[in-house]
Amino acid sequence: MRTMKKLIAAAMVTTALAPVVLAGQALAAKTSLVMGMALEPPHLDPTAGAPAAIDEVVYANVFEGLTRIGSKGEVLPALAESWDISADGKTYTFKLRQGVKYHDGSDFNADDVKFSLDRARAEGSTNAQKALFAGIDSVSVGDANTVVVQLKSPAGNFLFNMGWGDAVIVASETADGNKANPVGTGPFKFGSWVKGSSVNLVKNGDYWGTPAALEKATFRFISDPAASLSAMLAGDVDAFANFPAPETVPQLQADPRFKVVIGSTEGETILSTNNTKPPFNDVRVRRAIAHALDRQAIIDGAMFGQGTPIGTHFAPHHPAYVNLVDRYPMDLEAAKKLLAEAGHPDGFKATLKLPPPTYARRGGEIIAAQLRKIGIDLETIQVDWGVWVPEVFKAKDYDLTIVSHTEPMDISIYSRKEYYFNYSSDAFNSVIEKLNATTDEAGRYELMAQAQKIISEDAVNGFMFQLAKTGVWNAKVNGLWENSPVQANDLTGVSWSD
């Protein structure tokens, strides 16, 4: 045991001394960046797969779309320089940027846009977000720099949709090889991929826009949270856009070598509820659950205090967000009363299926404890994604589950028929229909607010918190995104100060 004690003491001493030793190293201004990521992308074609890790490497860096999403979630011009929308909101005429070249030296033109959009919506398409393109009726080439997209019906979010990674523009000659050797138009070219270890990007010298400040960018894949911390401390990695070990954040915050930035994501983390399954088909039961949830306790217990409470399915950083957190304040008496009115004075039993992420596994145990106080006895069942998708998402065989819905601007899922919440509201559907047909911003924001209030009123799901994005990077690195309105590590504006 003495040996053990000595070892522990040695570990503590070394942890304390580490910064002192490292401070002695001189760092010149660098032009390369090593970015850590928890998951490795299975391939590098954003038009053929859902994993966020694909976009986190290639979005805005290697591939570009007609539009792009900026750091605040705004729609910016990209390969389309400008656009005109017809008065009926159904015809979009895109004016394309000239003199753009792909990384293999070939020219970008209107044919590529038509090819990419048609490919994504074709019958045999394996695009993971095929629904983004479902509203397109036809794509036609005006001249080499003009593309006309005809929609079946007006879609107010069409320009935002064209900014997704799944809608990037690819060349017909290289499209099939993009999984292993991505060829795009972005400020970085694909360099190499050491499978299981890292992807290397190099600066594109022929970029049409502002050239990148970095000469080289490496994405290194480290899945173990403790290893992520040691990689940061040892200086092997310069930045983690999503640091996977929130419990060690105070240690990094106290260290002047690092900058810790807690931002927001598009991830509404919710207690998803099967709205047609008794007793959850009774709005009083759902409201009782809403009253019994202590959001701050969940954020503190499951997320080490990082996260913003939400009262509806909408990102708090968005200008159209309505704060409905106090619609159902934490009130056990009110909750019990609602349960009694619904015919469950002594509560009931139900199941809670928990997918692998920490927010679900840790959050689930806390929620089970909170609901036990009003008599709801939850059996927690741990499942992996391979089980969750067919069982919960597809077959809707569940009572309650916890998921973070990370797609941007996804409140319209509440109007989707057969979506796994099994929620259906004519009032809500008509708001979404109007929203789709509205293109002016003020009108859209007003409708978004209405939509938020309806689902909050119906307590469709237990709305918990917006997932935080814990960024940790070397204090000398500038230009990384604080929030993540889309899943991306946009390196176009990143540089080192010396």
Partner 1 sequence: MILFLIRKILWAAATLAVASVLVFAALEIVPGDPAQVMLGINATDDAIAALREDLGLNKPALERYFSWIFGLLQGDLGKSYTYSVAVRELVADRITISLPLALLALVMSTAIAIPVGLYAATKRGSIADTTIMAVTQVGYAIPNFWLALLLVYILAIWLQLVPAGGFPGWDGGLVPALKALFLPAVSLALPQAAILSRITRSALLDTMGEDYIRTARAKGLSFRATIWKHALRNTMIPVLTILGLQFAYLLAGTIVIENVFYLPGLGRLIFQAIALRDLIVVESAVMMLVATIILINLVVDLAYLWADPRLRHGRP
Contacts with partner 1 by CB under 8 A lie at: 1, 3-4, 7, 10-11, 14-15, 17-18, 21-22, 40, 42-43, 49-51, 123-131, 179-180, 194-198, 220-224, 226-227, 230-231, 233-234, 236, 384-387, 389-391, 393-394, 407
Q: Which is nearer to partner 1, 341 or 397 (CB)?
A: 397
Write the DSSP symbol of residue 154.
-
Pairing of strands 258-273, 239-240: unpaired
DSSP three-state, residue 291: helix
Least Å from the CB of residue 130 to partner 1: 4
Least Å from the CB of residue 299 to partner 1: 24
Q: Which is nearer to partner 1, 38 or 141 (CB)?
A: 38
Exposure string for 308-330, b = 16+ CB within 10 A, e = fewer: bbbbbbbbbbbebbbebbebbeb
Least Å from the CB of residue 241 to partner 1: 17
Q: State how far the Cα of 56 lies from the Cα of 177, in Å rounded to an integer.
A: 19
Angle at 420 between CA 436 and CA 361, to 5 degrees: 120
Q: Which is nearer to partner 1, 223 or 296 (CB)?
A: 223
Q: Which is nearer to partner 1, 230 or 351 (CB)?
A: 230
Helices (H), 85-153: 110-121
Least Å from the CB of residue 48 to partner 1: 8
Residue ranges with strand state E in 368-423: 376-382, 400-405
Cβ neighbours around 443 below 10 Å, total = 14
Least Å from the CB of residue 38 to partner 1: 10
Least Å from the CB of residue 63 to partner 1: 18
Q: Which is nearer to partner 1, 129 or 150 (CB)?
A: 129
SS (H, E, C) 178-243: CCCCCCCCCCEEEEEEECCCEEEEEECCCCCCCCCCCCEEEEEECCCHHHHHHHHHCCCCCEECCC
Token pair belonging to 408: 């941007």
Q: Which is nearer to partner 1, 34 or 292 (CB)?
A: 34
Q: Which is nearer to partner 1, 3 or 497 (CB)?
A: 3
Least Å from the CB of residue 461 to partner 1: 15
- Rounded alpha-carbon distances, angstroms, from residue 246 to 168, 208, 466: 33, 39, 15
